[in-house]
Amino acid sequence: MNKKPFVTKDQLVEIIKEFPTPFHIYDEKGIRENARKLKEAFSWNKGFKEYFAVKATPNPHLLKILQEEGCGMDCSSLTELMMSEKCGFLGDDIMFSSNNTPAEEFQYARKLNATINLDDITHIDFLREVADIPKIISCRYNPGGKFALGTTIMDDPGDAKYGLTREQMTEAFLRLKELGAEEFGMHSFLASNTVTNEYYPELAKILFKVAVELKEETGVHIGFINLSGGVGIPYTPDKEPNDIIAIGEGVRKAYEEILVPAGMGDVAIYTELGRFMLGPYGHLVTTAVHEKHIYKEYIGVDACAVNLMRPAMYGAYHHITVMGKENEPCDYVYDVVGSLCENNDKFAVDRKLPKIDKGDILVIHDTGAHGFAMGYNYNGKLKSAEILLKEDGSTKLIRRAETPEDYFATLDF
């Protein structure tokens, strides 16, 4: 698969005249089309709803686009709840999935009447003490051990800090029922950024079987099962993207095999996708400002790990397009680096690229989720602007770049 930017060099040259690099740019058309395809994939399920993971890209302009496409919000903190409220999300349009949760966050979630997803059995009494037990409640399940697809280990739930054990799920549902809860949900997340159509159907089978057991053991009504996130995107150009229609069909088969015969054909399916919803529809745009020739060849750009932390944090691959040189041979080998006083501040290591000259515009792909959001202010670096490329080709500034005044605003001296 050839990774092609959703914006042209000519468009970027014009945008940069008004908004200097670095900046993140998002593709409204791509976002809307993708949200519609997800909805189509699960249209067989009457109660289906996507709760976008706000942590992936917390920008109200993008949340409003997803709201227009019928999505709810998955929040995990006080400020994410506040942002969702400002955008007009209330009640069952918000799932609150948090862990190690402070009292004020539970209280705010209850104020909004959000659907609370409890991460631990001790949180039942904690929630009762600081707020109250709502009529609708969800619990997060962690099956422990290792999660494998075929012979490949995808992830290690047993090492994850999230969720309740199988025994605790039964205990939690009985306790919550005793405290007045009437409608129950289940939630689980077993692997991150999977690029396989098998993940959701396999997760669904695990959750559906447990749901049937829980209904029999506790007599509660399970109204929804939340498959959470984990459906990923292909960061490298050699991978094919997930086929969301095939994924939806796989979940449907599991639903009809396991839930329908158990008299649970009314269960709504929820998803909490972040990366899948926005990842490919964001680029980090940066300019080459220096070159360095020592033991290796370096290209210095005006972005750094503050703008995109994933390569520094995980060694993650992000594809790079040198704008205007798409058809030139990739016969140079570079480390593409930022300016932080950290040697891991590299967008690419030993990457084959066309010859890069100072002033070239580079597009770093797949930054629409967990890109800007993971930014920080190390070295006194300032966060960039965010720009929306609208469906009609015009652009809109949806977050201005930080200034030194912003950086110093919390100091009193």
| CA–CA distances in Å: residue 302 to residues 70, 266, 275, 340, 360 | 37, 53, 25, 10, 11
Q: How far apart are the first and last CA of the chain?
A: 54
Query: Nearest to residue 114, comparing CAs of 141, 89, 131, 151?
Result: 89
Kindly give the pairing relationship between strand 297-301 and strand 332-337.
Answer: parallel
Across 201-281, the runs of DSSP E, i.e. the strands, are 221-226, 268-271
Q: At 397, list the tokens.
A: 């500034």
Q: Which residues are catalytic?
A: 341
Distance CA 186, CA 322 (A): 45
Residue 348 three-state SS: strand
Q: Choose among 147, 145, 142: nearest CA to 172.
A: 142
Q: Pull the structure tokens for residue 326.
A: 């798409």
Task: Express the helix, strand and coil content of the chain in percent, nearest 5 each.
Answer: 35, 25, 40
Rg (Cα) of the chain, in Å, rounded? Answer: 23
- Rounded Cα distance between 69 and 80, Å, is 19
Alpha-carbon distances, residue 176 vs 42, 76, 185, 223, 264 (angstroms): 30, 21, 12, 15, 20
Report how far residue 51's alpha carbon sits from residue 71's, in angstroms, rounded to the nearest whole number.
6
The two structure tokens encoding residue 143: 């099956």
Asked whether 143 and 162 are in contact (CB, 8 A), the reply is no
Q: Which pairs from 257-265 meet CB under 8 Å and 24+ separation?
A: 258/205, 258/208, 258/209, 258/212, 259/208, 259/211, 259/212, 262/212, 262/215, 264/211, 264/212, 264/215, 264/222
